[in-house]
Structure 1
Amino acid sequence: MLKKLFKSLNTPARHPQHRRTTPEVLNAGQHSLQRSQFSRHAVGIVERLQTAGYQAYLVGGCVRDLMLGIVPKDFDVATSATPEQVRAEFRNARVIGRRFKLVHIHFGREIIEVATFRANHPEEDDEQDVHRSSSSESGRILRDNVYGTLEDDAQRRDLTINALYYDPVSERILDYANGVHDVRNRLIRLIGDPTQRYQEDPVRMLRAVRFAAKLDFGIEKHTAAPIRELAPMLREIPSARLFEEVLKLFLSGHAADTFEMLVDLHLFDSLFPATTQALEDTPTYTHTLISEALRNTDLRIKQGKPVTPAFLFAALLWPALPARVLRLQSRGMPPIPAMQEAAHELIAEQCQRVAIPKRFTIPIREIWDMQERLPRRSGKRADLLLDNPRFRAGYDFLLLREKAGEETDGLGEWWTDYQDCNDSERREMIADLGGKDESGAPRKRRRTGAKRSKRGEADE
């Protein structure tokens, strides 16, 4: 993946700020798209809006994905009609949003999103999910979005491959930014001057990485060049917005490649500073554990299995935790309280950068807490742990730690066997533990069967 991170065109380079005011028009014979590939509901919306006298096109990701042979997740429409005008045409339409209104048109479970052509204020922002006001001295765009022309709409978009408009009536593609060329050359390129566009909205750096990983594209060299220097600008982005962006980065099915690119471009540091320090302190272990967790995440998504962000964040942050636990233990704090205090401290720091909601921070801490409890198996503790609702996540996390090279004295294998045993075999496994108790002191020899007293059980 990283070998093709910076990729140049074979054609002569264009000035990075070049913006086309008239589109290149590709007729039906010049591209592979057919109207039958698109949602019939989305096509119907375009036809109806055009019949009513408005401009309307299928736009963005659905056009790009079908050119690549990918089945689109959704189909979006861009139009000259205002939200109120769209709603007047469709009884099943609902206007959403405040500062920038969109229309959702419902067809059973399918929802087609219809957006009015948008324009930037002078040097304005183009992100769909950025709705802010005023401006900043750093050059970031903070005003609300306004309506505009088709040409305005094309130029305010961030990536060339997302600025493609398909007319299912004439079966033509309108291309304002050489996006067809970049799709065919598997290239991520920003529209306009990259430095200026990143300064307007630093999240565009994350979007460039996300689309490169998702589509297996290279990042055009001028688009990639400013990222390392500008990466610290992500610290200015609200932590709640970065949480949503991190989910997009790591739950797209290409998390492992995304991680490598984020680290290489110095973006990971602005998202996970404590883990970045762990990558320096324990590089092999940290990299292996995170990469293994992300590969497992990608596989589960590919298989259609559920993925919990809590487990993902637990893995991303875990390498930064042990050193903090040891520091607290060195001050005389017992292992479990040390784990709990270190976890609280680490998560609080992380939430300053990426605002992880409480519904995820609680299970993160429970998964980590399990790592301290799983070695404590004597007496009835093993069965109590097995009944714990977080046992499975804690057990999976233990196996992840072992895969990363952490020595656990066969703890993962023990728990694997314990789950497969019957009650009698489990009692035998507990009796055979021997060795030392949880405090590290030599443990008295166990008495089993009828000879074991109730007091002995209670002491365990």
Structure 2
Amino acid sequence: MTVPIIIPRADHTISRRNIDPDALKVLYRLHEHNFTAYLVGGSVRDLLLGRRPKDFDIGTTAHPYQIKKLFRNCWIIGRRFRLAHVKFGTKTIEVATFRRFVPETPQGEGSDEPIVVASSPGPEEGGNRPAGPIVRDNTYGTPEEDAFRRDFTINGLFYDIATLSIIDYVGGLADLERRIVRSIGDPRVRFVEDPVRMLRAVVMASRLGFEMDPLVVEAIAEHRQLITTAAPARLLEEYYKILRSGYSEATFRALARARLLELITPELKSPPDELWDWLEKLDRYRQGFETAPPALTNPILISALLMPSGVWERSMASAPPAPREPAGSKTRRRRSPPGERLEFGMLPVARRDIDTLRQITQIVPKLSDPLLPERAARTILRRPAFRDALVWLEIYGDAPEIVAEWKGTLEAADDGERPAAAGDGPAPGRRRRRRRRRRRRTAPDADDS
């Protein structure tokens, strides 16, 4: 058993004023019902660094359905390991039961220690993965065991709501002081368990301005090929997180130096200088907000990689043209055929995002056209992708006057009629045809029979 370092409230800088009030509600309620409840992971790290956390995750001794009993606004998700999502409007507080890593028991050997399994992996989760990746990471454990199964020391810190103290089992506080990203355990083993940890090490060092531990650097060089065994959808989500972070240029440059970028997206092995210019513009826009704004949608984000690299142009040149539909058309939207899906290295970019980006590329030239007729301008305002196109132009277009003019037009339209969005009814400004009442037929008189 490891004796943790415990920092009392008087000796650290985390204040409850800086913790999301809804996260505090969850922590307090769990504590009131005699469960251990800690703020965990990156939120503790960021609070100690004076940064605003993106998420506030909670670890607890309560099991998922015990959590659900305490919160009416709670949903249980996950197959391999159940997580509780406590909803507050559009915000989600993720609550996980403390877990531990259970290594595979060699054939013929047993264990008398009881194992409480949260949920079993489905048969499809075996796949063709090499020996080593975690397939049994779904058992309940203690806070200490939970800390040691995490990826990096600076992510293994806990904040105890009962005592307002910081608990450190893994040396994370010392590494925060040294500004080092260090693996919990041997990185050569931990990266085989989960290859995405290599990418996360590079991302974290770039975003925080930290150095990677030499053992981490060596392990990435040794095992970088394993990143190709990771789930493509998971890698795509990691790319979106990077693009949304405000530090995408530095991060993708670091991924290129670590030679991970060329394995995930070979199209970016030797990127043009224009790529870094696009990422710099995206970062500048994102850093103007305290948190990532909802306007930064996936099509806008991924365009910063697809367009300057030439991937988008090549893909559109080989794709069949999509049929155009008149604005306000009630016809059902055509489903894209399988061949229109854009493959970006390992990353399966969603069809809906490609469709939206295609609409953006159609709208943006019209926004910059000084001779655009007034009727065409009103039609553009009703296009579902209009707002995305306007944000895209603001980020990448270098045309602040045009953006300001269209924002004024949009505000004026919002005061009168709201531009149509996907799923809306008839377009604004169009009168609905009144249905004529059917004339009621009267029964024939007896004299007529």
Asked if TM exceeds 0.5, the reply is yes
TM superposition shift of 1:176: 0.9
**1:239 is aligned with what amino acid?**
P
The residue correspondences of 1:37-48 to structure 2 (distance < 5 A) are 37-48=18-29
Identify the range of structure 1 (362-371 vs 155-164) with the bigger mean alpha-carbon deviation. 362-371
Q: 2:350 aligns with which of 347, 357, 361?
A: 357
Cα distance change of structure 1 residues 155 and 351 upon mapping to structure 2, 3 Å threshold? same
Q: 2:8 aligns with which of 20, 23, 27?
A: 27
Output the CA distance in 1 between the equivalents of 2:49 and 2:220: 27
Secondary structure at 2:150 match in 1? coil
Secondary structure at 2:307 match in 1? helix
Greater RCO between the two (CA within 8 Å, min separation 6)? Answer: 1
Deviation digits for residues 221-253 of structure 1 (CA, Å, limit 9, x no counterpart): 222232244333222222222221111111122
* Contact persistence 1:131–1:144 (CA under 8 A): no
2:235 alignment partner in structure 1: 242
Deviation digits for residues 88-116 of structure 1 (CA, Å, limit 9, x no counterpart): 34455443333311223345665433211
* Contact persistence 1:275–1:317 (CA under 8 A): no
1:166 alignment partner in structure 2: 159
Q: 1:57 aligns with which of 38, 44, 47?
A: 38
Output the CA distance in 2 between the equivalents of 1:141 and 1:31: 35
Output the CA distance in 2 between the equivalents of 1:341 and 1:171: 60
2:69 alignment partner in structure 1: 88
2:307 alignment partner in structure 1: 318
- Number of residues paired by the alignment? 373
Higher helix share: 1
Cα distance change of structure 1 residues 385 and 160 upon mapping to structure 2, 3 Å threshold? same
Deviation digits for residues 50-100 of structure 1 (CA, Å, limit 9, x no counterpart): 454432222222222221122334432211221222333445544333331
RMSD of aligned C-alpha atoms? Answer: 4.4
2:258 alignment partner in structure 1: 265
TM superposition shift of 1:211: 2.2
Output the CA distance in 2 between the equivalents of 1:370 and 1:321: 20
Output the CA distance in 2 between the equivalents of 1:117 and 1:98: 16
Secondary structure at 2:158 match in 1? strand
Secondary structure at 1:143 match in 2? coil
Q: 1:145 aligns with which of 138, 157, 167?
A: 138
* Contact persistence 1:59–1:165 (CA under 8 A): yes
TM superposition shift of 1:263: 1.5
Deviation digits for residues 284-311 of structure 1 (CA, Å, limit 9, x no counterpart): 3444445445544555776847223223
Output the CA distance in 1 between the equivalents of 2:68 and 2:203: 33
Output the CA distance in 1 between the equivalents of 2:351 and 2:287: 24
**2:250 is aligned with what amino acid?**
D
**1:216 is aligned with what amino acid?**
G
Output the CA distance in 2 between the equivalents of 1:41 and 1:216: 30
Output the CA distance in 2 between the equivalents of 1:396 and 1:42: 31
The residue correspondences of 1:223-372 to structure 2 (distance < 5 A) are 223-277=216-270, 279=271, 283-296=272-285, 298-299=287-288, 304=293, 306-321=295-310, 338=317, 340=319, 350-351=343-344, 353-367=346-360
**Pair 1:198-2:198 in alignment:** no
* Contact persistence 1:255–1:294 (CA under 8 A): yes
* Contact persistence 1:35–1:168 (CA under 8 A): no
TM-score (normalised: structure 1): 0.66
Output the CA distance in 1 between the equivalents of 2:276 and 2:89: 44
Cα distance change of structure 1 residues 358 and 52 upon mapping to structure 2, 3 Å threshold? same
Secondary structure at 1:142 match in 2? coil
**1:180 is aligned with what amino acid?**
L
Q: Which consecutive residues of structure 1, in runs of 5 or more, have no partner in the other structure?
A: 1-19, 125-129, 329-336, 404-411, 420-460
Cα distance change of structure 1 residues 233 and 303 upon mapping to structure 2, 3 Å threshold? closer
Output the CA distance in 1 between the equivalents of 2:388 and 2:28: 50
2:178 alignment partner in structure 1: 185
* Contact persistence 1:187–1:219 (CA under 8 A): yes
* Contact persistence 1:213–1:254 (CA under 8 A): yes
Output the CA distance in 2 between the equivalents of 1:391 and 1:107: 29
TM-score (normalised: structure 2): 0.67
**Pair 1:100-2:89 in alignment:** no
